[in-house]
Chains A and B, each alone.
Chain A
Amino acid sequence: MTELQTLIGTVRIRNPIILSSGIWGSTYSTLNRAYKEGFGAVTTKSVGLNPRKGHPNPSVIYIPEIKSILNAVGLANPGYDAFSEELREINHEVKYSVSIFGSSSTEFQQIIQHMDNNLTGNTPIAYELNLSCPHAKKVGIAVGTDPNIVYTIVEACKVRTKVPIWVKLTPNITNIKSVAESAISAGADAIVAINTIKAMMIDIHIKKPVLGNISGGLSGQAIKPIGVRVIYDLYERFGSEIPLVGVGGISSWQDAIEYILAGATAIQIGSALIDYDAPQTLVHNILNGLNEYLSREGKSFSQLRGLAHE
């Protein structure tokens, strides 16, 4: 077995496969279970200041032809207060990061401060700032496409906490590099990309949009080439200066390697879980494939990063 322990900045995880935000991670039990089933780390559902019930259903639709999911959950969450109580129940061996959304730097600060105070003893490995959800008003993408706002938010979070700050970016933007640059210069410890891509679906019989929110975000296999390009571009620009977590459409070891060769330090998986009754098989298959690839190539995992650029 090759060594697959992975270092994301100062954070060491047992393998490079992380459960992405909004898949499973709404309760402590699912986070515990996902970690037990083999993920290197798990990410919580994004949490905000106040309880939100999200958009009306249909809000999550699977499109089998392209093995992709269209969603407009709308950042449903119980609010940071109740959610921090939930997270206190997480088993202590579980490496988890808390995904946070907000509309201003003070909102982000307030949530982070509360989490820091409430989660002592079982601190998250990172706060992942969701600056990229495409289907909720005033938050997510609304703050994540302006480099100045991104700078202010990341800087505000950095001064409040010792926990690493990861910044999750949207591909729904012409120049992701300038937003990433702001995040990095404000002190971001890693960049996570990509979130879902704006999309919608219309029913041709009733002649109306299917999603309760009209439009939503696409994830799954259809978006993989887009995610790979984003990671490639970011690595091209920043090299190994900043850890990159690649996400979007990964469902096999080949996909994972593609992201690593493009420049990712680690990867996240979400939509692919739909094909499995238990994620254990998926994680296991990817780790096995990765190991075999590395031994065939005679390389260590960290040597693989960014090789497509050479």
Chain B
Amino acid sequence: MNKQNRIEIPLCLTITDLVFEGEKTATFSFHLPANLELDPIPGQYFMLWLPGDDEIPISISQIENNEKIQFTICSKGQTSANFLRMNKGDLVGLRGPYGNGFDISDKEVAIIIAGGMGIAPLRFIISTLISRTQKKILLIHGARTHDELFFKEELNNTDIDIRYCTDDGSFGFHGFPTIILEEILQKAQQKNLSHEIYSCGPEKMLKGILDIVNQFNLEKNAQFSLADRYIRCGFGICGSCYLDGVGLSICRDGPVFRGDVLQKITDFGSFGRNANGSKYPL
């Protein structure tokens, strides 16, 4: 495979569009210079630098014609909150794309499970699967509450099957997406179709999904994008984001891992590490 083009030194671009998806979440658009030919893969991320503040990893939420790129940011702490205070025309430094990204796979059915902000990178894989494959696509879209089911309208306009669920029961099924997944996999067993599972969301939810796919022996067909982690360099050098067990990095070896690999990661779903390297329970 040819080496992918990448912006290594932050490239300052103006925010060409900024749309609020909810009270604490917004989608930022930028125009990449035409000559870069970055060809990002769904699941890859950029480091977004807010000059004077900090730089954070954010998944590519959508890209059109290798040019108009979008990121969806949810306010979680200092820097993400400050991003939401930005305006159209402000400058943001971008470097990327980093990480491995999702594997499209040749399975007949794609089951996509999004928890909260996890919908951002999955939005990009959904549009890619629609445009490049004939797969039957089923999305289980979960959030804490109705207002946090981002991109609902856009996704309703596609012809994929969607099952909604909320923790508080304000929309769709009242409960976690994992319950729906289990139900679907049970039914799927009777049909003779091959499945690929794509998921992103809080690590606790991903752990729940891993436990379920294990029961169905689908761990090798399940891809998980980890996003609850601290990233500093983005290219596997500084050691900040390495997972326990075999010693894989999120920033370079990930952020997407298959279930059989995650099984060997001893802190998966239980501990994160902050900027100084100390562990904290997830």
Contacts and interface: CB of A to CB of B under 8 A. Distances in A.
Interface of A: 22-30, 32-34, 45, 51-54, 56-64, 69, 71, 73, 76-79, 82-83, 86, 201, 203, 205-206, 208, 210, 212, 270-271, 273-274, 277
A206 B10 CA distance: 11
Given A24-B242, A57-B47, A210-B9, A29 B236 contact: no
A216 to B, nearest CB: 12
B244 A29 contact: yes
Nearest to A70: B9
Contacts of A210: 9-10, 49, 93
B239 A206 contact: no
B238 A60 contact: yes
B123 interface: no
Contacts of A53: 274-276
B276 A76 contact: yes
B10 A26 contact: no
Contact of A73 (B10, B51, B232): B232
B91 interface: yes
Question: When A and B form their complex, which 6 residue pairs have the shortest distance between CB atoms, in order from nearest?
Answer: A33-B247, A26-B239, A57-B55, A60-B233, A29-B247, A53-B275
B268 to A, nearest CB: 12
A273 B236 CA distance: 8
Given A27-B242, A30-B239, A61-B10, A208 B51 contact: yes
Nearest to B52: A208
A54 B233 contact: no
Interface string B246-275: 110000110000000000000000000111
A62 to B, nearest CB: 5
Contacts of A78: 276-278
Given A27-B244, A58-B49, A61-B95, 9 more contacts: A23-B239, A26-B240, A29-B242, A29-B243, A30-B242, A77-B276, A201-B9, A203-B93, A206-B93
Contacts of A52: 276
Given A76-B277, A78-B277, A56 B53 contact: yes
Given A51-B276, A53-B275, A273-B236, A62 B47 contact: no
Nearest to B55: A57
11 contacts: A30-B242, A53-B275, A56-B53, A57-B54, A58-B47, A62-B9, A62-B233, A77-B277, A86-B277, A210-B93, A277-B252
Contacts of A71: 238
Contact of A76 (B52, B240, B244, B245): B240
A78 B54 CA distance: 20
What is the interface residue range for chain B against chain A?
A: 35 or more
Contacts of A57: 47, 49, 54-56, 232
A64 B3 CA distance: 13
B235 interface: yes
Given A23-B238, A212-B54, A58 B93 contact: yes
B147 interface: no
A24 B243 contact: no
A78 B12 CA distance: 33
Contacts of B10: 58, 61, 203, 210
A62 B276 contact: no
Contacts of A25: 239
B237 interface: yes
A69 B55 contact: no
B8 interface: yes
A212 B10 CA distance: 12
B218 to A, nearest CB: 26
Contact of B237 (A29, A69, A201): A69
Contacts of A79: 276, 278
Given A26-B277, A56-B53, A205 B91 contact: yes
Among B53, B91, B95, B236, residue most surrounded by chain A Cβ atoms (within 10 Å): B236
Interface in B36-51: 47, 49, 51
Contacts of B233: 59-60, 62
A253 to B, nearest CB: 21
A201 B9 CA distance: 10
B101 to A, nearest CB: 14
Interface string B147-160: 00000000000000
A91 B49 CA distance: 38
B238 A22 contact: yes
A40 B91 CA distance: 46
Given A54-B276, A203-B10, A203-B93, A60 B237 contact: yes
